[in-house]
Amino acid sequence: MNTAGRLIEGRLKHLETHLEQENPVLLKTVQSFKKLDRIAYRTGLLDTDESYATQIPWWPLISVLGTFSSGKSTFINHYLGYKLQRTGNQAVDDKFTVTCYSREKTAHALPGVALDSDPRFPFYQMSEDIELVAKGEGQRIDSYLQLKTCPSEQLRGKILIDSPGFDADAQRTSTLKITDHIIDLSDLVLVFFDARHPEPGAMHDTLDHLVSNTINRNDAGKFLYILNQIDSAAREDNPEEVVAAWQRALGERGLTAGRFYTIYNPEAAVPIADDNLRQRFERKRDADLEEIHNRMHEVEIERAYRIVGVLERTARDIEERAIPAISEAVSRWKRRVLWGDAVAFSLLLIALIGITINLGYWEGFRFAPPWLDSLMTNPVAQISSGVGIVAVILGLHFVIRALSARSLLRRLRKQSAHLAIRGNLANAFLRNTKPWRSIFSTSPAGWGRGAKKRLTQVKEDADNYVQSLNDRFTNPSGEETFSLSEMGHQAPAREKQADAEVMETVTANQS
């Protein structure tokens, strides 16, 4: 195996080690992806330094964005049950912190370089992206990103990102670029605002960036807008007005009710003296927090189904789209080669006849060049001229094969882009045009009985994984099962009650 192949093997091993701790069903899907890889290597769809498994994001990403000191880190610490992030009233975080689960009992930080070079994480080669927008900054990836691991059960199967306070005016291009990149990659984005700022209008640009720009995206459903620290409003004469002012500000930017939450952190909050008021605040907070936490859990489930969906789709894409496209190109190529041969050899024959007639080698229909007698008596000359003739014929044939192949490549590349499937169709096609492949072979290179069997097995496996995920994530009565066709879409919105039950099962299964 070459070094590139070994590298990819190492990466998959790494992936498996992590999934072993987090989700055994997904661990098995890695094996299935490897089966597809093998088919793709043989057919030429993938290079041996590629894998279908390394380009999908395995961990759902939840990012926490928002204004300075709005309580992002406090919220994350509370969610994890660990004092992982520093908090405080000045701007504390100046980097993005990517947190992921590890059994190790201590939380530790790794440099951003770990994120940049580890394909498990969606920041893989982020430095190149940064370099594109801010020259020279790519090398300083460490000053933008850090990685922390934490043994919190809440973190199993997901990645959480804490971010520096967002200020559209003061932000450097590279930070804005990372923020946007993170938003694009995230499955769920929690946008925090601080109720201690009674005047939301002052943050015009920030609101524009975090609200106006997000509300019309086609993945707008993944944004939750959270007004935090509303305990501070309890001290105002009219607490409702604080919330209402924010609601208006967000409403002006297109946010309709439903994804606007008001919460505060019980430990960081200022005690509320008035009993009635306190209870009212607590009820609202608890309901909203529960909804936010449920969404955070759901993301993990959705992602697991989506990965099995990708597996199934990749298998189908190979069988139903890539292989037929290759076969079609190969038969076009065969036709071109056969026609090319016919035309070229006819022309050659006509030319030869013409030349020999001109040279006076013909006596009527009898071929009688002056050197014919000496050739007939010289076996060495016979053999070498025989070899010469065969070489010319073969040479011409292979030139025609190569030219015909080349004439089809552009079309194939276009088709490849149009089909939008993973894998290099042109490369796979060229395998079939190699000199040692007969133009009369019936199926594309690497697509034999073994490959077909393996592919069928992967599809069956995918169905089984969906079953296992259903067993794992849905309630025992089986009311909420997913089918493969549903997996491309968002998991259906569920009743709160059912949700709670689902989550009980998840936690029970995980412990």
Minimum distance between the CB of residue 10 and Mg ion, rounded to whole angstroms?
A: 34
Can residue 228 be called a binding residue for ligand GTP (CB under 6 A)? yes
Can residue 92 be called a binding residue for Mg ion (CB under 5 A)? yes
**Which partner in Mg ion, ligand GTP, none is near 312 (CB below 5 to 8 A by kind)?**
none
Can residue 239 be called a binding residue for ligand GTP (CB under 6 A)? no
Contact 418, 275 (CB under 8 A): no
**Which partner in Mg ion, ligand GTP, none is near 309 (CB below 5 to 8 A by kind)?**
none
333: left (phi over 0), alpha (psi -120 to 50) or beta: alpha
**Which partner in ligand GTP, Mg ion, none is near 229 (CB below 5 to 8 A by kind)?**
ligand GTP
Tell me which residue of 196, 214, 287 sits closest to 250, measured CA to CA: 214
Residue 387, CA atoms < 13 Å, CB-side half-sphere: 6
Q: How many residues sit close enough to ligand GTP to count as binding (CB under 6 A)?
A: 24
Site residues for Mg ion, window 71-90 (CB under 5 A)? 72-73
- Tokens, residue 509: 């299964």
- Tokens, residue 217: 């995206």
CA pair distance 389, 451, nearest whole angstrom? 40
Minimum distance between the CB of residue 192 and ligand GTP, rounded to whole angstroms?
A: 6
Which SS3 state, helix, strand or coil, does residue 218 take?
coil
Axis crossing angle, helix 496-510 with helix 275-316, rounded to the nearest 10 = 70
Greatest alpha-carbon pair distance for the chain in Å reads: 124
Minimum distance between the CB of residue 195 and ligand GTP, rounded to whole angstroms?
A: 8
CA pair distance 315, 303, nearest whole angstrom? 18
Residue nearest to Mg ion (CB): 73
Stretch that binds ligand GTP, among 54-62, 64-72, 254-262, 310-318 (CB under 6 A): 64-72
Minimum distance between the CB of residue 274 and Mg ion, rounded to whole angstroms?
A: 30
CA pair distance 387, 381, nearest whole angstrom? 10
Contact 172, 106 (CB under 8 A): no
Minimum distance between the CB of residue 285 and Mg ion, rounded to whole angstroms?
A: 20
Can residue 194 be called a binding residue for Mg ion (CB under 5 A)? no
Stretch that binds Mg ion, among 92-100, 262-270, 308-316, 473-481 (CB under 5 A): 92-100
- Please pick, from the candidates 63, 146, 232, 424, the single residue that binds ligand GTP as defined by CB under 6 A: 232
Contact 213, 253 (CB under 8 A): no
Can residue 146 be called a binding residue for ligand GTP (CB under 6 A)? no
Contact 101, 199 (CB under 8 A): no
Count of residues making up the chain? 511
CA pair distance 357, 31, nearest whole angstrom? 68
Stretch that binds ligand GTP, among 141-149, 267-275, 416-424, 430-438 (CB under 6 A): 267-275
- Tokens, residue 493: 């919105």
Site string for Mg ion, 15-54 (x = CB under 5 A): ----------------------------------------
Contact 67, 205 (CB under 8 A): no
Q: Which is nearer to ligand GTP, 169 or 495 (CB)?
A: 169
Which residues contact ligand GTP by CB under 6 A?
A: 68-74, 87-89, 91-93, 164-165, 228-229, 231-232, 264-265, 268-270
Which residues contact Mg ion by CB under 5 A?
A: 72-73, 92-93
